[in-house]
């Protein structure tokens, strides 16, 4: 039986550190597979960046309120999932939230883009046949709450497609693994992020965690935070939420719902295939 190697790499992508670890018997094969997986993450980054002018998100924000635009099938897939979660959470998850993030200076305002309609919400995003997208009102789309999970799924798919059978992909804490090895996952104590709590042993599946501890900043004497309630734009609880699901996109999106909506959304999360732990 050949010796099992593990290769572990990290690159800055999607505004965070993306780590990929793969196991196998041949170093060259592992290195090529990890490169291919990073290429998938880079592609998600290019398509879904709020800032990059050429991204699908940026093009939609500039033009989709006037005319339907064709987007990459990956962008379309993320929007479909985002809309599913938005409907299932009564709009608690809403990818049109960028207006509020910009207003709180958590995102820079896109240049040369029409100011969004204050009434705009996810219901104004229409997904048309042929991967076309149209907005009913000017709005600013931001996929920051879901694209990381999707990128992890694409990286996992890429690793599998080149014959890797044990790996873990972690994009800034949204992670997914597959293979015979169980992975122990820790989570930060929301009251003291340097303390780590053992959370779960994960076989083949994903875990994502949302908390305010690194995104909370004080501006003008007020706490602001990247997790905002799109309906009221109100405050955020102090704890953290960890969600496990088969796919990382599901885990990623539902952490936002549960962080804002709390335990009363656990049943809906479960129906969407997501199980959760609320911490703190």
Partner 1 sequence: MSDFIHWLAPAAIAPAAIAAVQHCYAAQYLTLEQAQATIFPEARRFAAAPVRFSPDQARQIEKLAGAPVRVPEQQVWEARSDSRLLGWFIVDEVYGKHEFITYAVGLNADGSVRQIEVMDYRETYGYEIRNAAWRRQFVGKRHGDSLKLDQDIRNISGATLSCRHIAEGVRRLLALHEVALR
Q: Which residues bind partner 1 (CB under 8 A)?
A: 8-12, 15-17, 19, 21, 31, 168, 170, 172-175, 182-205, 207-211, 214-215, 240, 242, 244, 246, 263, 270, 273, 275, 277-280
Which of 128, 263 has the CB closer to partner 1?
263
CB of 197 to partner 1, least distance (A): 5
| Ramachandran quadrant class, 163 (left: phi over 0; alpha: psi -120 to 50; beta: rest) | left
Which of 215, 231 has the CB closer to partner 1?
215
Which of 67, 194 has the CB closer to partner 1?
194
CB of 57 to partner 1, least distance (A): 19
> How many Cα atoms are found within 13 Å in the side-chain-facing hemisphere of 258?
29
Using CB atoms within 10 A of its CB, is residue 53 exposed (0-12), middle (13-18) or buried (19+)? Answer: exposed
* Beta strand spans in 14-139 (E): 16-24, 69-70, 125-128, 132-135
Measured CA to CA, the distance from residue 56 to residue 63 in angstroms comes to: 10
- Sequence-distant (6+) residues with CB within 8 A of 103 are none
Q: Which residue in this structure is represented by tokens 């496990």?
A: 244
CB of 27 to partner 1, least distance (A): 10
Which of 62, 277 has the CB closer to partner 1?
277
Measured CA to CA, the distance from residue 150 to residue 172 in angstroms comes to: 13
Q: 270 by DSSP, 3-state: which?
A: helix
The kind and range of the H/E element at 269 are helix 266-271
Which of 118, 184 has the CB closer to partner 1?
184
CB of 154 to partner 1, least distance (A): 19
CB of 32 to partner 1, least distance (A): 10
Give yes or no for a contact between 83 and 255, defined as CB atoms under 8 angstroms apart.
no
Which of 154, 188 has the CB closer to partner 1?
188
């Amino acid at each position: 039986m050949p010796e099992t190697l593990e290769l572990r790499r990290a690159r800055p992508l999607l505004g965070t550190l993306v780590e990929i670890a793969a196991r196998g018997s041949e170093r060259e094969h592992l290195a090529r597979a990890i490169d291919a997986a990073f290429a998938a993450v880079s592609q998600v980054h290019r398509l879904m960046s709020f800032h990059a002018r050429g991204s699908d998100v940026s093009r939609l924000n500039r033009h989709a309120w006037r005319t339907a635009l064709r987007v990459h099938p990956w962008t379309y897939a993320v929007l479909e999932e985002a809309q599913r979660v938005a409907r299932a959470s009564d709009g608690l998850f809403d990818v049109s939230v960028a207006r509020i993030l910009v207003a709180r200076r958590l995102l820079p305002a896109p240049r040369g883009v029409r100011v969004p309609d204050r009434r705009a919400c996810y219901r104004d995003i229409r997904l048309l046949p042929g991967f076309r997208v149209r907005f009913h009102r000017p709005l600013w789309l931001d996929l920051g709450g879901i694209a990381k999970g999707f990128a992890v799924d694409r990286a996992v798919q890429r690793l599998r497609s080149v014959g890797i059978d044990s790996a873990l992909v972690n994009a800034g804490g949204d992670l997914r693994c597959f293979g015979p090895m169980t992975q122990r996952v820790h989570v930060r104590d929301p009251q003291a992020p340097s303390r780590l709590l053992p959370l779960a042993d994960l076989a083949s599946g994903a875990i994502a965690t949302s908390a305010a501890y690194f995104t909370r900043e004080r501006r003008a004497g007020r706490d602001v935070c990247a997790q905002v309630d799109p309906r009221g734009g109100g405050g955020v609880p102090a704890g953290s939420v960890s969600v496990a699901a088969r796919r990382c996109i599901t885990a990623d999106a539902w952490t936002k719902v549960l962080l804002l909506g709390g335990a009363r959304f656990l049943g809906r999360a479960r129906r969407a295939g997501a199980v959760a732990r609320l911490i703190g």
